[in-house]
Amino acid sequence: MDLVSIRLITDDPGRLVGFYEGISGVAATWYTDDFAEVIMPSCTLAIASTRTVALFGAGSARPADNHTAIIEFRVADVDKEHERLRGLVRDVVQAPTTMPWGNRSLLFRDPDGNLVNFFTPVTAEAIRKFARPGN
C-alpha cells in the first residue's frame, strides 16, 4: 500500500491552488476547472471544487471544515521559509518552534483554514529518522 494523495475540497479551487503553488513553488496541473493537483516527489496534494463532492456521494465532504488534520511539508530551513512566506500567509498559528520530537516547526492556516506545517528536522534523532529510506 502507498499513500499517494491528500485531497482538499474547496468552494474556490483557484484561490486554494494559487496558495499552495505559492507556498510550495510547484505549479499545479489542472485537469478540469474543478480539479487540480500539486504533484511532489513524495505525495500529491489534490484540490477539488465542492461540485466534485456529488461524484462521491452528496454531503460526503464539506469545504473549510477540517479540524483534525495537518498538512505537513518537510523543508530545508523552516526559519528561512517563515521569512519567505510573510507576504503569502496571513494566519500564522505558531512561529518557528523546536518541538519535543526534534523538528523545528512553523504552523499556519491556508485560505480555507486548513492547518499547514512546514518543518525541518533539527535534532540528531529527527535527522536520522528522515534519512531512512522512504522518508
**pLDDT, tens digit (0-9, with 9 covering 90-100), for 8-47:** 999 999 999 999 999 999 999 999 999 999 999 999 999 9
Higher local confidence (pLDDT), 134 or 120: 120
Alpha helices in 1-135 (DSSP H): 13-24, 53-56, 78-84, 124-131
Using alpha carbons only, give the angle 78, 16, 52 rounded to the nearest 5 degrees: 135
Rounded to two decimals, the pTM is 0.92
Are 46 and 5 spatial neighbours (Cβ–Cβ below 8 Å)? yes
Task: Write down the pLDDT at residue 22.
Answer: 97
Residue ranges and CATH numbers for the domains of the chain are 1-57 (3.30.720.120), 66-135 (3.10.180.10)
